[in-house]
Chain A
Amino acid sequence: MTGTADSPRPGPRLARGALYLLVFASLVVMLFPIGWMISTSFKPGDEIFIPPPRWIPRTPTLDGYRVAFSHAVLVPLLNSLVVAAGSALLATGAGALCAYGVSRMRFRGRGALMAVMLATLGLPIPLLMLTLYVMFSRAGILDTYLGLILGHTAITLPVVVWMLKDFFDVLPQEVEEAAYIDGAGLLYTFWRIVLPMAAPGLAAAAIFVFVTSWNEFVFGLTFTSSSTMRPLPAAISLLFLGEFQYRWGDAMAVAVLVTLPVMALFVFFQRFFIQGITAGAVKS
């Protein structure tokens, strides 16, 4: 494209400098909120209200992080961890089996199955929650990990099936075929041969589910009633609307705490996701 590295006619140096300036400026604007969050999280309560605002705190403090690592936040954090891990396991497991079937077998309704899976992603979640609330309440699993895990599994499963179907499609099939011809059972082959080869795909799918569950807010708020079961986003919203109202330093430290784990996970798997979400774009 215009002025790429191998372009026969590189633009004048000034224009290039201007482009770098633009890139830098856009980066500053985009990362500004995150930077301000981190900066505020290290400020003591009184300094936050002293104008003019400063990037580097005058007297940096870890008070905010002491709150972030207190009981009121760590219990919800643990809840989120359990729910996210449980959802990741369940959605990846169920999704991998289904995706493998769709990838390897030809049957009527195969396309329809995938289309329905995709369509469920758009269904209004508050509408689904009405029935789920009644179902879960009758089954006695409101305010339990199981209820949240089921909810988060449902909303992520379609993506997992799509991700892994694409992944299985390009996986070499010779070893599998040899196993079947030797008389190995389907589940045995799937468990011992397919899954190990698909490990990177499974990891990416599991991370997708984990991150989605970790970030999910409205199920967590509605399907739990006791503070000992509440996941982190719901707990933060209640703290934020209540006792955290004007304690911005503490609120920012908690916000950093909820953001950091998913960002760290994402750093390692970003390339995979970029390939995943852009594959469709390039095809169409």
Chain B
Amino acid sequence: MSALFRSHRVASVAIFAPALLIAGALMIYPFLNGVVMAFTDATPTQREWAWVGVENFDYVLSDRTFWEVLTNSLVIVGLSVAIAAFCGLLLALLLNEGLAGTRLYRSLIFQGWVVPWITIAVLWGWLFNFDHGIVNHILVTLGIVDRPLNWLAGSVLAKVLVISGFVWRIIPFMMVMILAALQGVPSDLHEAARIDGAGYVQRLRFVTLPLVRSVIIVAALLQSVRLFQELTLPLVTTQGGPINATTTLSLYTYKLAFERWDFGLAAAVGSIWSGLLILISAFYVWIVERGAKQ
């Protein structure tokens, strides 16, 4: 097939042009230029930018807010992904029992995957409303708390609000990925284990989990990278507060850039964030390659 294209030299180069142009001009160049910007005092109001060396990085790394924001991001994203992976695994195990109506159930849950973040943001604001929110109502009715919780005022409570929204949104993805992996586990392995007298928990621990572990890790990493980008929910509900408790790296970068208009600082934070992503990707590649070898 490849040989057939030799007589279409111009066209066969031209078909790559639109995609390369878009990816190059709107993704690669802005990324590289953003890293360069981190070494300048760039703001959009001035045309000329001056080099400031590592001043932005100096400032960011010695700023307590940055470390707080970094910790927040790791805690919020890490917990969200871990909880969603756990719930996704439980749901997938449940669905893998071959009950009737499984496909309908999977479809219903999977709908959550396309719910716009803005819907989640507005809806979570209402569910967790201090005076009239249904969450407080349920907690008080069940006697879990004495009086309504002010979700937006406490740094832990605000994090719980954000994490619950993140978890709700990514459980469907986790469930579908893990379920696919479970369905790929050969049933004779289970038969063999059962004949050897292994109970459900033992089979889960020694047969199922080792076989789906790499899928869970890959799905979790993909979603972490995705959630690091997410800022709609904290921006709309908590505005990153109280006192930065729910400000994540993306919200912080966004605020530095488009509220303080300090592009240099924002670029420095964005560059550090990219460095983190490279570490995460290296880990990802390592996991995938290790999974492929097994």
A interface residues with partner B (beta carbon < 8 Å): 1-7, 16, 19-20, 22-23, 26-27, 30-31, 33-34, 36-37, 40, 48-49, 51-53, 90, 93-95, 97-98, 100-101, 104-106, 116-117, 119-135, 137, 150-151, 153-155, 157-158, 161, 173, 177, 180-181, 185-187, 190, 211, 214-215, 217-218, 222, 232-233, 236-237, 240-241, 248, 251-252, 254-255, 258-259, 262-263, 265-267, 270, 274, 277-278, 280-282, 284
Q: Contacts A126-B254, A259-B119: A187 and B11 contacting too (C-beta < 8 A)?
A: yes
Which residues on A sit within 8 Å (CB–CB) of B208? 1
Q: How far is the CB of B101 from chain A (nearest CB, A)?
A: 8
Q: Contacts A23-B94, A215-B118: A130 and B263 contacting too (C-beta < 8 A)?
A: yes
B interface residues with partner A (beta carbon < 8 Å): 1-2, 4-5, 8, 11-12, 15-16, 18-20, 22-23, 26-31, 33-34, 37, 42, 44, 90-91, 94-99, 101, 105-127, 129, 131-132, 134, 137, 168, 171-173, 176-177, 179-182, 184-185, 187, 190, 194, 200, 203, 208, 214-215, 218-219, 225, 228-229, 231-232, 235-236, 249-250, 253-254, 257-258, 263, 266-267, 270-271, 273-274, 277, 280-281, 288, 291-292
Q: Contacts A33-B127, A186-B15, A218-B232: A284 and B215 contacting too (C-beta < 8 A)?
A: yes
Q: In the complex, what residue of chain A is closest to B42 when comparing beta carbons? A: A130
Q: Contacts A131-B29, A240-B236: A30 and B112 contacting too (C-beta < 8 A)?
A: yes
- Determine if B16 and A281 form an interchain contact, defined as CB atoms under 8 angstroms apart: no
- Determine if B99 and A23 form an interchain contact, defined as CB atoms under 8 angstroms apart: yes
- Determine if A218 and B254 form an interchain contact, defined as CB atoms under 8 angstroms apart: yes
Q: In the complex, what residue of chain A is closest to B172 when comparing beta carbons? A: A30
- Determine if A20 and B176 form an interchain contact, defined as CB atoms under 8 angstroms apart: no
- Determine if A150 and B26 form an interchain contact, defined as CB atoms under 8 angstroms apart: yes
8 smallest beta-carbon distances between A and B, as pairs: A127-B270, A98-B19, A278-B180, A154-B26, A131-B30, A94-B18, A4-B98, A186-B11
- Determine if A30 and B109 form an interchain contact, defined as CB atoms under 8 angstroms apart: yes
Cβ-defined partner of B114 (8 Å) among A131, A134, A153, A211? A211
Q: How far is the CB of A36 from chain B (nearest CB, A)?
A: 6
* Bound form: Cα–Cα A263–B111 in Å: 7
- Determine if B134 and A132 form an interchain contact, defined as CB atoms under 8 angstroms apart: no
In the assembled complex, 11 residue pairs joining A and B whose CB atoms fall closer than 8 Å, in A order, are A2-B190, A49-B132, A53-B137, A94-B22, A120-B27, A133-B44, A161-B19, A180-B4, A211-B114, A222-B258, A259-B115
Cβ-defined partner of A123 (8 Å) among B27, B126, B263? B27
Q: Contacts A4-B97, A19-B94, A181-B4: A130 and B119 contacting too (C-beta < 8 A)?
A: no
- Determine if A157 and B22 form an interchain contact, defined as CB atoms under 8 angstroms apart: yes
* Bound form: Cα–Cα A280–B51 in Å: 44
Known pairs A100-B15, A190-B15, A214-B116 / 17 extra A-B pairs, C-beta < 8 Å:
A1-B97, A33-B124, A53-B134, A53-B137, A93-B18, A97-B15, A122-B280, A128-B27, A130-B267, A131-B30, A131-B34, A158-B23, A186-B15, A248-B129, A251-B126, A281-B219, A282-B184
* Bound form: Cα–Cα A249–B84 in Å: 29
